[in-house]
């Protein structure tokens, strides 16, 4: 995101842009085809501090601010949205709740190895029968004195099989609804944590996503995150934060698509002149550019709200809703500009089109964002 937040921000951007150009962009198409997980690149990114971007330095993190985090996700997504989501999930849905709800001991034990770039993180909320209606999850926990035992199935878990630490939601009793849910810190190496084979996805193919079975997983009492019964609130507060990262990813993909479209419109000639000299194409490019700027402005507004102590569900939902829908419109326009070539795997825009699709679906569908926004509006209406 372009914002005047100082010299450090600019230096970090230069470093990330250069890393993306040299290390990430060259293999993006090949990794998309082979669905190969980029362990080597991620290892280097961990060493650069990109797994703990806003974690304070005393906990091994890079100690940067939210604006810098969002700029980094945007720049990575511009060249490879798969790597962007792997990084975003590690920082946001895993790192953020550990930082905000974890005890110092939990942060030392679980957050430090992530923030210092040794391990990836993840988040286990969704289940086969609990997606948008997250409070209806069925993974159970029971208290056995010195530990909790977890049983259930989690679905669509990003970084499944590649991350070491997960924040995992389970319920004491599904009849208690949201208030029965607690958050646990789960070590992927624990006995009973079984990762299914990765999903064969339409896009984001070199990120790993999969089903996880929890079969009598014994979680120590010390791995309860927050209070018992606080888990759903932790999950929703986490999503308020993490949706900013997905909005930044969507802005990044859209910027990448605009660049591809511009390059093509410059080089391709029809009816005796370059495509961008045809008004229909020029106007389409102008709309794409304006839409991206609008999404960025909403994202910056939401990020400013997230830097205050008050709840920012409405702002995050607006940014995620608009940025993800915008991203899909922009990549579709970029395909249209490419004509038949946009339908070919030879051009990067084909991958971007597939990668963009999930942004209106994961970390809350567009419909869920509208629920969040309309509920906030209803509440505001009460005081009119």
Active-site positions read 363
Rounded CA-CA distance 74/123 in Å is 21
For Cα atoms 199, 203, 204, give the angle at the middle one, nearest 5 degrees.
80
Closest CA to 363 of 329, 313, 302: 313
Taking the complex as a whole, the smallest distance from the CB of residue 372 to ligand COS amounts, in Å, to 5
For Cα atoms 206, 212, 216, give the angle at the middle one, nearest 5 degrees.
155
> Among residues 41 and 134, whose Cβ is nearest to ligand COS?
134
Taking the complex as a whole, the smallest distance from the CB of residue 42 to ligand COS amounts, in Å, to 19
Rounded CA-CA distance 219/225 in Å is 11
- For CA atoms 92, 121, 210, 137, give the dihedral sign: negative
> Among residues 190 and 233, whose Cβ is nearest to ligand COS?
233
Rounded CA-CA distance 144/340 in Å is 61
Taking the complex as a whole, the smallest distance from the CB of residue 133 to ligand COS amounts, in Å, to 6
Residue matched to tokens 């970084």: 159
> Among residues 132 and 344, whose Cβ is nearest to ligand COS?
132
Q: Give residue number: closest CB to ligand COS.
A: 364
**C-alpha separations of 22 from 19, 73, 117 in Å:** 5, 17, 20
> Among residues 153 and 333, whose Cβ is nearest to ligand COS?
153
Rounded CA-CA distance 280/276 in Å is 8
Taking the complex as a whole, the smallest distance from the CB of residue 168 to ligand COS amounts, in Å, to 12
Task: List interacting residues with ligand COS (CB under 6 A).
Answer: 125-126, 132-135, 178, 232-233, 236-237, 239-240, 311, 313, 362-364, 368, 371-372
> Among residues 3 and 233, whose Cβ is nearest to ligand COS?
233
Residue matched to tokens 């991203």: 327
């Amino acid at each position: 995101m372009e914002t005047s937040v100082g010299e450090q921000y600019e230096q970090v951007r230069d470093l990330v842009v250069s890393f993306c150009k040299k290390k990430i962009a060259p293999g993006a198409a090949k990794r998309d085809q082979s669905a190969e997980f980029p362990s080597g690149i991620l290892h280097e990114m961990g060493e650069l501090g990109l797994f703990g971007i806003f974690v304070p330095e005393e906990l091994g993190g890079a100690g940067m601010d939210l604006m810098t985090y969002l700029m980094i996700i945007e720049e990575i997504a511009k060249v490879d949205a798969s790597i962007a989501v792997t990084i975003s999930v590690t920082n946001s849905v895993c790192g953020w709740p550990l930082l905000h709800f974890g005890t110092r001991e939990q942060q030392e034990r679980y957050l430090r190895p992530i923030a210092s770039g040794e391990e990836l993180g993840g988040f286990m909320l969704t289940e086969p029968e609990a997606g948008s209606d997250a409070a209806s999850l069925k993974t159970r926990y029971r208290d056995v004195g010195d530990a909790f035992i977890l049983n259930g199935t989690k679905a669509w878990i990003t970084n499944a099989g590649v991350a070491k630490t997960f924040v995992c939601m389970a319920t004491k009793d599904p009849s208690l609804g949201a208030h029965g849910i607690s958050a646990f810190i789960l070590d992927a190496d624990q006995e009973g944590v079984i990762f299914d084979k990765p999903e064969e996805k339409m896009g984001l193919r070199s990120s790993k996503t999969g089903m996880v079975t929890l079969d009598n997983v014994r979680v120590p009492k010390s791995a309860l995150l927050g209070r018992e019964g606080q888990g759903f609130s932790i999950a929703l507060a986490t999503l308020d934060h993490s949706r900013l990262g997905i909005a930044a990813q969507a802005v990044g993909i859209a910027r990448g698509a605009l660049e591809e479209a511009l390059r093509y419109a410059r080089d391709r000639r029809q009816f005796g002149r370059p495509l961008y000299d045809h008004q229909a194409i020029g106007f389409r490019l102008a709309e794409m550019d304006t839409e991206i700027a609008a999404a960025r402005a909403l994202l910056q507004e939401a990020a400013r709200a997230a830097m205050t102590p008050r709840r920012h569900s409405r702002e995050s939902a607006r940014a995620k809703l608009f940025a993800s829908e915008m991203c899909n419109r922009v990549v579709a326009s970029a395909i249209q500009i490419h004509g038949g070539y946009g339908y070919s795997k030879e051009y990067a825009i084909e991958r971007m089109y597939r990668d963009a699709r999930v942004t209106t679906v994961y970390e809350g569908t567009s419909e869920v964002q509208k629920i969040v926004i309309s509920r906030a509006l209803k509440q505001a209406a009460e005081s009119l």
